[in-house]
Amino acid sequence: MKKLKNPLTLLVLIIVAASFSAPFGTPQLAAFAKDFLPAVATLIAAYVGAWYGASLVQDAAQEKERKRQIGAGARAMFTLWRQVNVVAQIQMDFVDHHRDEPLAAISLPPIDYPLDETPRIDVDSLAFFLDLGDARILEVLVIAEQNFLHAVEVVRTRSALHLMEVQPILEKIIPKGGLVSHAILEQALGPRLFSQLIDQTKRLIFRVDKTVIDLDEAAQGLYTALKKAFPDAKFPQPSKPADE
């Protein structure tokens, strides 16, 4: 049972004990105590019981909130892992195979990776970091997710351009198993479409590469912040060790 911290309660209990104890007790005080103190004791017991019950309820509420915060942190780590996985797969399966090619704008095909349901971080559930004095991690997460969403949109835009406008033209001018010159491609596509394709291809490569780095750093930062706030809790590990 918890210790009684209310000084009034302790004082009354001392007086009750003293009234029945020699040499402090007197017949008059003993008679008074016999008639009055049982009622006082009942009130004190009711107060102590209410105080203790409220303390238990408060402790339970605090523990529930702590578990909620830990769960929110774990879900955020998992969401970051999913976001990293999306852009890392695009990087490995498409970008890395074409980034150094002279005509990467043409050779990089439309990316058909499923991007319809992109995972999102529930930033509101992590607002407890504000109370912990670590608002910086929320800023990092918001920026990293915005970069992720931007990268996904760039992939969609460039893929649609290649699929709907560029590919039909390429199918007519590129012989099977052969290549055509830069000049022929530019002439066939036209200056606007050709420059647009080159620009969007460069943006795609840059955004994918940067987003992988940003999300990795955000995951490491969130993991560090969570372990600082909840040292005994377990969270999904980021893709790189936090101390690297």
Q: What is the pLDDT of residues 128-181, one digit of tens each?
A: 999 988 899 999 999 999 999 999 999 999 999 999 998 888 888 776 655 667
Q: H-helix or E-strand containing 167?
A: helix 167-173
Are 129 and 137 contacting, i.e. CB atoms less than 8 angstroms apart? yes
Calculate mean pLDDT across residues 14-37: 57
Q: Provide the mean pLDDT of the chain.
A: 81
Are 99 and 223 contacting, i.e. CB atoms less than 8 angstroms apart? no
Q: How confident is the model at residue 38 (pLDDT cuts 50, 70, 90)?
A: low
What percent of the chain shows pLDDT beyond 90? Answer: 48
Is residue 72 predicted with pLDDT exceeding 60?
Answer: yes
Q: CA end-to-end span of the chain, whole Å?
A: 46
Task: Name the residue among 146, 88, 122, 129 with its Cα closest to residue 221.
Answer: 129
Calculate mean pLDDT across residues 34-48: 65
Residue pointed to by tokens 């997710």: 145
Cis peptide before 23 (omega within 30 of 0): yes
Q: How confident is the model at residue 22 (pLDDT cuts 50, 70, 90)?
A: very low
pLDDT at 184: 82
Look up residue 225 and give its two tokens: 């912040």
Is residue 122 predicted with pLDDT exceeding 90?
Answer: yes
CA distance linking residue 36 with residue 34, whole number of Å: 6
R_g of the chain computed on alpha carbons: 34
Torsion, Cα of 142, 152, 95, 90 (10° steps): 90
pLDDT at 105: 86
Least confident of 32-41, 42-51, 84-93: 32-41
pLDDT at 241: 40
